[in-house]
Amino acid sequence: MAEPEDLSDPKLMEVKTISVAIKGTLKKVAARRIKAEAGEQPFAVVAQLVTAVAEDAFHKSRGLTSINLALATHIGVYSFNSCPALNSVSLPAATHLGYGAFESCHALKAISLPAATHIERSAFCDCAALKSISLPVATHIGKEAFHSCRALKSINMPAVSHIGEYAFGGCAALAAVNLPFATEIEGGAFIQCLALASISLVATHIKRNTFDNCTALTSVTLPLAKHIGNAAFNGCHSLTDISLPVATHIGGWAFVNCHALTSVSLPMATHIEGGAFNDCHALASVSLPAATSFGHAAFHSCHALAAVTLPAATDIGDWAFVHCDALTAVSLPLATDIGEGAFTFCSALTSATLPAATLIGERAFRDCHALTSVSLPANAEVPESAFDGCQKPPTVNRTAAAAGAPAAAAAPATAAAASERVSEEEPGSTRARRPSLTGAGNGSP
């Protein structure tokens, strides 16, 4: 026998419309009276003269299903927070929505706020059924404003200039974004937007974790972006190429774990921070004509990278090219400092042209089994461990010392001779040790 329906369920009961004659601010005490009038019955609120709703006014009002506030311009903090039956909102004059105003309103499916300019922190956070939003004049979207709106598929905010931290984080269904004037994008703004396939923004700074784990992202257009923050595109597994025409700074781990990334064009980038392209297994082509410094593990485990020409590079960080298994040749005409373990386990590397490198890190070419030739300046400091594990010591071709540099002893013909010379000149020591690489998944080999 079927169980009787629970008539206390707001969905099964007739909705009572309560008209409110209050002028000005609808305060918490008035809201309490409205809820008392409704009792256990679902209720809708209609107020033609209310201009503001106070903080916490209808917080956790289980029976509230609808609001119609024709003149209200300000919606206070938590004013409609956690109203599980609220499914209809009419706020044609609202300009400002406070912190958590509609957070966790799980039945709310659509929202239209034609006059709203400011959507504050967590305003619609965890509105799990929200599919449609219209904010034609909004300029400010606060931190976590739409976080975890898992049903939201598209956003069209033609006037927005500021997107707060994690504003759309966890919007797993979000596939289309139109933010033509968004110039400020805070960290994590689109983190874990799993359906987002393309993005076009005019922002100049893409901050940390902005598109972290956007696993469907294939197209990125950022024509004005100068700064790419740490882990900005971490785990974007579908991203195949990236072109950032004016970017000058690429943050740490910016593209880590972008497993499908095959080519990178950064014509103006000067600084590539540690781990920037770590574990980009398919990366085969790199264009970085202006880059001068490369942080630790910058290209760690880029297994498809076959050749590296970095004409402006002066500093190659520790473990920068570890496990670049396809790398056969390296040309670094201006590099003066080659970090510890920089080319360790580059098993296909046959030659390295380093005419300006005066400092070679410990184990710089460790286990480079195919290495046969290395070009170095006459005054290069080569530690004993530089070629550890190389099946046959490579020939080291010494060029004339740079102008003003101290003259070196006779240039050794092999790596073994280089090691012997270093031992004789500096008993018990090699070049000054660099700090060991630390960080998850990127330790020293």
The tokens 């609120």 sit on which residue?
45
Domain-embedded: residue 87: no
List pLDDT tens digits, range 77-88: 999 999 999 999
d(CA 402, CA 357): 10
Domain count, the chain: 2
The pLDDT of residue 356:
97
Domain boundary among 54, 80, 106: 80
Tens digits of residue pLDDT in 117-130: 999 999 999 999 99
Q: What is the mean pLDDT of residues 419-433?
A: 34
Are the beta carbons of 236 and 215 closer than 8 angstroms? yes
- The answer to whether residue 33 sits within a structural domain is yes
Buried-exposed string 188-216: b where 16+ CB fall within 10 A, e elsewhere: bbbbbbbbbeebebbbebbbbbbbbbbee
Q: Is residue 237 part of a domain?
A: no
Q: CATH number of the domain that 367 lies in?
A: 3.80.10
What would the mean pLDDT of 25-50 be, rounded to a whole number?
96
Q: Is residue 328 part of a domain?
A: yes
Query: In this predicted model, what pLDDT tens digit does every residue of 301-312 receive, in sequence order?
Result: 999 999 888 999
Q: What is the pLDDT of residue 9?
A: 54
Domain end (from 51, 80, 109): 80
For residue 354, being part of any structural domain is answered with yes
pTM of the shown model: 0.86
Residue 364 neighbours by CB under 8 Å, 6+ apart: 338, 339, 340, 341, 342, 343, 344, 383, 386
Question: Are 98 and 79 within 8 A, CB to CB?
Answer: yes
The arithmetic mean of pLDDT across residues 199-211, rounded, is: 96
Please check whether residue 38 lies inside any domain of the structure.
Answer: yes
Q: Which amino acid is at 127?
A: C
What is the domain range of residue 31?
14-80
- Tens of pLDDT, residues 209-250: 999 999 999 999 999 999 999 999 999 999 999 999 999 999
437 belongs to a structural domain: no
Mean pLDDT of 1-23: 69
- Look at residues 80, 107, 124 and tell me which one is the last residue of a structural domain: 80
Q: What is the pLDDT of residues 336-385, one digit of tens each?
A: 999 999 999 999 999 999 999 999 999 999 999 999 999 999 999 999 99
What is the pLDDT at residue 136? 96
Residue 437 neighbours by CB under 8 Å, 6+ apart? 296, 297, 318, 319, 340, 341, 443, 444
User: Does residue 279 form part of some domain?
Assistant: no
